[in-house]
Amino acid sequence: MARGRSAGGGGRPVTLAMVAQRAGVSAQTVSNALNSPELLAGETLERVRRAIADLDYRPHQAARSLRTRSSRLIGYGVAPTPPSISTSVLDRFLHALSDSADLAGYRVLLFAAPVGADDEQERYDQLLRDHSVDAFVLSNTHRGDRRPGWLAKREIPFVAFGRSWAARDIGDWVDVDGAQGTADAVDHLVAAGHRKIGLLGWPRGSGVGDDRARGWREAMERHGLPVRGLRQAAEDDAKAAQLAVAPLLDGPGGVTAVVAVSDTLALGVYRALRERGRTPGADVAVVGFDDSPAAALLSPSLSSLHQPLEEVGRACTRLLVARLKDPRAAPQRLLLAPELVVRESSAPHPGSLADPPRDEPPHSRRDPHTPPPPDPPAVPDAHPPTANRTASE
Amino acid sequence: MARGRSAGGGGRPVTLAMVAQRAGVSAQTVSNALNSPELLAGETLERVRRAIADLDYRPHQAARSLRTRSSRLIGYGVAPTPPSISTSVLDRFLHALSDSADLAGYRVLLFAAPVGADDEQERYDQLLRDHSVDAFVLSNTHRGDRRPGWLAKREIPFVAFGRSWAARDIGDWVDVDGAQGTADAVDHLVAAGHRKIGLLGWPRGSGVGDDRARGWREAMERHGLPVRGLRQAAEDDAKAAQLAVAPLLDGPGGVTAVVAVSDTLALGVYRALRERGRTPGADVAVVGFDDSPAAALLSPSLSSLHQPLEEVGRACTRLLVARLKDPRAAPQRLLLAPELVVRESSAPHPGSLADPPRDEPPHSRRDPHTPPPPDPPAVPDAHPPTANRTASE
DNA sequence: GACGACGGTTGGATCGATCAAATAGCACCA
DNA sequence: TGGTGCTATTTGATCGATCCAACCGTCGTC
């Protein structure tokens, strides 16, 4: 074990040539042992491997990169996110991404990505030319996002966190199945006895928001429940939500439950209820989206849809590695289901009639006597929402 | 402007030699124009610069790095952060760091840093050898952190976000002045008429927590107010806080205000108050720390200390660049003041007696008839907390 | 007018790996 | 024996920038 020694940093670096000499072979053979081990005779390979281990040799990326024009680097543009109640997204996602990329032999290179600036692509181009990054991970994809098209045209590998909401779906992506999430919420609320379930969404036009709204609508229809007049919208702001939800609560036959497409909106619902002397959970059930850290801390604690961000990060790496291996393979899309975390805001009241007994839930997750979902989601080429299935088909 | 052309990605790269030919000089001269412009004659420099611009030339990092053994890369280890109410830290800090590093010509390379694992340094070493990173940015420094010492011994430049809480202060760091923050909170509460101000802290032993507690204590003493029995502690968990704060609220002469060292703890105080039929803000003032996105959304909204994370990020870059320029310069430390954001939980009640009239506040920020602060904070070499106190009064 | 000093420039070697092509080693069959 | 077809390994060139040492012209000085 000479590891301790060489980990001692400061000294001269171990080069491929030194390994070659120690193993009694040429430099090229060592290179092959690393990059095309199948070319070597078993015995030679073993000898080289031992020499590498003995010297604790690590190939110098810059040299390798100079020759091969690839860097084992993945570019990730950090966009300035508006302070929202659920901004730990980057945190969790980025850590998972970086972690899994590490395991696959890649590293994540950060750069500041201007949101929708004109020279947006310029920054990607810079990274490409300065550091020869092998691929990009996009996040915060939005309608009319030009990045996927731009990258695809140049045949630069990338994976997006968030489907490309454009008409023509481009490239690989991983996304959280928002529709599935809100549908789960509806199922859960219906099982608890609710019939009038409102939706508090974002203004139409955002891909994510519309998707989550669709899940609610489809689930309602599947249960044979009406949706007319049960949908309101607000920007992602608690105050705006507080006002926007009013029609749902005050209407002639007010709702008994509200599904909000974000925790921030859900908080607005809380306030609107309090304003009316009513209690979230007890009087009107509320389900949020994102499962922000605050959700568990509110009182009553907020039921919410937890996004599997760690899994999204790992999936991005997986898809990216596959893409790098075979640039022309069919595009892969992966929809991961969020998980409904039930808390006080939607839990049946202790002792109430609606309390579903453990042994025989009144409604199973996918109600048997209602027709199956009409169509696979309107996402072309998308795998059905099976969650993390390992690879393509 | 030929920029548009070369931004066209796929094609052949522009090399230094091509620039040299176009400018009618040798390659070395172009290199000098980039790295040591002072060596060139003004006219030549101008000509080379124009050629560079015309061709939209960018030096190839890998080649440069191979020769110089430096990469213009800054390593940042992302640690898995426990889901807390205020996890947008990484978000804001990292974006600012990456952004300002970009401007300085550096890029941030992410890697997964195990928290306190035995092979922790190994990961740093890897990054050093694989990618020849020029420097590191540390965060989540803690008592007994071995990283600063390890890096310093190897003369690897680094800047820590968070002072090294060890006995001997090592290396450059930037930190938020927690003591200043809690002191500001006390001043603010005293100005609003409070005299019995409790502290809800973390268990002793964490550098950050102890620092924030100290600020409270020193400010109380400065105002001539007692601190005995007014301090309680809990782990950073709302439930634990709810229980821990009880003695402060229920004691014979209960407190009228509580300073909590995190928003999570403050939330526990909210709950404890509600549990007792009392209202945060109206009955007992509460001030949190971190100004998490949830703080503004709680009702009543929570006064909290806002950390200037963007500025911390920029400062890290600044110190790092300085350190890279002069590895042997004296270590720099920078304490930035958090900003107290006053919200409903500590705002004087409208119309109440405690409402300080604009023209003659009952207590000025620095009470004239109490002695001045005893000593500058016990941080050797630290700059005085100059920082941006824009809106703190 | 030759000399050294100096600012500015030049050609050539070099960083450490990979690529392309050539070679050695070996079995097999005519 | 000699050619053929493999496979395993070696040799030499190369990626693009920087470092080094030498070079050249100009100026001031003795």
Find the helix or strand (DSSP H, E) in which A296 lies: helix A293-297
- Which residue's CA lies closest to nucleotide D15 at its C1' atom? A67
Nearest of A279, A283, A300 to residue A342 by alpha carbon: A300
Cα gap A320→A101, rounded to integer Å? 9
Q: Is residue A328 part of a domain?
A: yes
Cβ partners under 8 Å of residue A235, min gap 6:
A202, A203
CB A7 within 8 A of CB B122: yes
- Residue A99's Cβ-side half-sphere holds a number of Cα atoms within 13 Å equal to 19
CB nearest A61 (choices: B88, B130, B155): B130
| pLDDT at residue A344 is higher than 90 | yes
- Report the mean per-residue pLDDT for chain A: 83
pLDDT band at A366 (very low <50, low <70, confident <90, very high): very low
Residues A149 and A183 in one domain: no
Using DSSP bridges, classify how beta strands B285-290 and B107-112 pair: parallel, antiparallel or unpaired: unpaired
Cα gap B73→A38, rounded to integer Å? 34
- Answer whether A275 touches B (CB < 8 Å): no
Q: Is residue A48 part of a domain?
A: yes
User: Burial code of B350-364, b = ≥16 C-beta within 10 A, e = fewer?
Assistant: eeeeeeeeeeeeebe
Check CB contact under 8 Å for A125 and B9.
yes
Domain-terminating residue out of B336, B352, B380: B336
Residues B206 and B297 in one domain: yes
User: Which residues face A355 on adjacent strands?
Assistant: none
Rg (CA), chain A: 26
Per-residue pLDDT of chain B in tens (393 residues, 90 and over written 9): 333 333 444 456 899 999 999 998 989 999 999 998 888 888 889 999 999 999 999 999 999 999 999 999 999 988 776 666 656 566 788 889 999 999 999 999 998 877 667 778 888 988 998 899 999 999 888 888 888 999 999 999 999 999 888 778 899 999 999 999 999 999 999 999 999 999 999 999 988 999 999 999 999 999 999 999 999 999 998 899 999 999 999 977 789 999 999 999 999 999 999 999 999 999 999 999 999 888 888 888 999 999 999 999 999 999 999 999 888 899 999 999 999 999 999 987 554 444 343 333 333 333 333 333 333 333 333 333 333 333 332
**Arithmetic mean of pLDDT, A235-243:** 93
| pLDDT at residue A253 is higher than 70 | yes
CATH number of the domain encompassing residue B41: 1.10.260.40
Chains A, B: CB contacts within 8 A come to 174
Nearest of A252, A261, A303, A306 to residue A280 by alpha carbon: A303
Domain-terminating residue out of B19, B37, B59: B59
Distance from CA of B265 to the nearest CA of A (A): 10
CB nearest A122 (choices: B7, B128, B155): B7
Check CB contact under 8 Å for A111 and B98.
yes
pLDDT of residue B34: 92
Domain count, chain A: 3
Cβ partners under 8 Å of residue B291, min gap 6:
B86, B263, B304, B305, B306, B307, B341
Among the residue ranges A141-145, A287-291, B14-18, B129-133, the one predicted with the least confidence is A141-145
Residues B55 and B81 in one domain: no
Residues B184 and B253 in one domain: yes
Domain-terminating residue out of A259, A289, A307: A307
pLDDT of residue A139: 87
Q: Which residue of A lies nearest to B113 if distances are taken between CA atoms?
A: A99
CATH number of the domain encompassing residue B160: 3.40.50.2300
pLDDT of residue B81: 67
Residues A111 and A218 in one domain: no
- Per the structure block, which two tokens stand in for B206? 């964490």
B99-118: pLDDT as tens digits: 999 999 999 999 887 766 77
Query: What are the Cα distances from residue A379, in Å, to A158, A294, A333, A334, A390?
Result: 19, 32, 10, 11, 20
Q: Is residue A325 part of a domain?
A: yes
User: Burial code of A313-323, b = ≥16 C-beta within 10 A, e = fewer?
Assistant: bbbbbbbbbbb
Q: Give residue for tokens 């491997």.
A: A49
Amino acid occupying residue A339: E
Residues B197 and B291 in one domain: yes
Q: Is residue A7 part of a domain?
A: yes
- The count of other CB atoms within 10 Å of the CB of residue A351 is 6
- Residue B226's Cβ-side half-sphere holds a number of Cα atoms within 13 Å equal to 6
Backbone angles phi, psi at B193, to 5 degrees: 105, 0
User: Which residues face B345 on adjacent strands?
Assistant: none
Among the residue ranges A216-225, A229-238, B65-74, B88-97, the one predicted with the least confidence is B88-97
Q: Where are the beta strands (DSSP E) in B187-332?
A: 197-201, 231-233, 257-260, 285-290, 303-306
Nearest of B93, B83, B131 to residue B111 by alpha carbon: B131
Residues A54 and A118 in one domain: no
Instruction: Give the 3-state DSSP-derived string for A197-224, with helices as H, strands as E and coil as C.
Output: EEEEECCCCCHHHHHHHHHHHHHHHHCC
Find the helix or strand (DSSP H, E) in which A260 lies: strand A257-260
Among A1, A18, A55, A78, most B C-beta atoms within 10 A, so best to mutate, is A78
User: Which residues face B73 on adjacent strands?
Assistant: B107
pLDDT of residue B88: 59
Residues A144 and A79 in one domain: yes
Amino acid occupying residue A21: Q
Q: Is the model more confident about A78 or about B161?
A: B161
- A 129-158 residues with CB below 8 A of B? 129-132, 154-156
How many angstroms separate the CA of A189 from the C1' of D28? 95
Range of the domain at B259: 178-307+337-341
Q: Is residue A92 part of a domain?
A: yes
CB A270 within 8 A of CB A261: no
Cβ partners under 8 Å of residue A290, min gap 6:
A85, A86, A89, A262, A263, A304, A305, A306, A307
B154-192: pLDDT as tens digits: 999 999 999 888 778 899 999 999 999 999 999 999 999
Give all strands of the β-sheet with B285-290 in edge-to-edge order: B231-233, B197-201, B257-260, B285-290, B303-306, B339-341
How many angstroms separate the CA of B2 from the C1' of C2? 51
Distance from CA of A88 to the nearest CA of B (A): 5
Q: Is residue B355 part of a domain?
A: no
Residues A171 and A314 in one domain: yes
**Arithmetic mean of pLDDT, A86-105:** 82
Cα gap B382→B179, rounded to integer Å? 13
CB B335 within 8 A of CB B310: no
Query: What is the DSSP-derived secondary structure letter of residue B13?
Result: P
- B 314-373 residues with CB below 8 A of A? none
pLDDT of residue A356: 40
How many angstroms separate the CA of A7 from the C1' of C22? 39
Among B121, B150, B264, B297, most A C-beta atoms within 10 A, so best to mutate, is B297
**Arithmetic mean of pLDDT, A256-277:** 95
Residues A295 and A209 in one domain: yes
pLDDT of residue B273: 95
CB B189 within 8 A of CB B356: no
For B98-111, give the DSSP string: HHHHHHTT-EEEEE
Q: Give the SS3 label for residue A8.
A: coil
Cα gap B377→A353, rounded to integer Å? 61
Residues A186 and A276 in one domain: yes
pLDDT of residue B223: 98
| pLDDT at residue A46 is higher than 90 | yes
How many angstroms separate the CA of A63 from the C1' of D18? 14
Find the helix or strand (DSSP H, E) in which A55 lies: helix A42-55
Q: Is residue B15 part of a domain?
A: yes
CB B268 within 8 A of CB B239: yes
- Answer whether A297 touches B (CB < 8 Å): yes
CB B127 within 8 A of CB A109: no
How many angstroms separate the CA of B36 from the C1' of D30? 35
pLDDT of residue B83: 61
Which residues in chain B have Cβ-Cβ distances shorter than 8 Å to A92?
Answer: 83
Check CB contact under 8 Å for B131 and A80.
no
Q: Is residue A163 part of a domain?
A: yes
Amino acid occupying residue B94: L
| pLDDT at residue A79 is higher than 80 | no
User: Burial code of B25-52, b = ≥16 C-beta within 10 A, e = fewer?
Assistant: beeebbbbbbeeeeebeeebbebbbebb
Check CB contact under 8 Å for A95 and B88.
no
User: Which residues face A258 on adjacent strands?
Assistant: A198, A286
A172-214: pLDDT as tens digits: 999 999 999 999 999 999 999 999 999 999 999 988 999 999 9
Residues B188 and B282 in one domain: yes
Distance from CA of B357 to the nearest CA of A (A): 29
Tell me which nucleotides of strand C come within 7 A of a protein CB: 7-12, 14-21
CB A100 within 8 A of CB A314: yes
CA B199 to chain centre: 23
Q: Is the model more confident about A11 or about A82?
A: A82
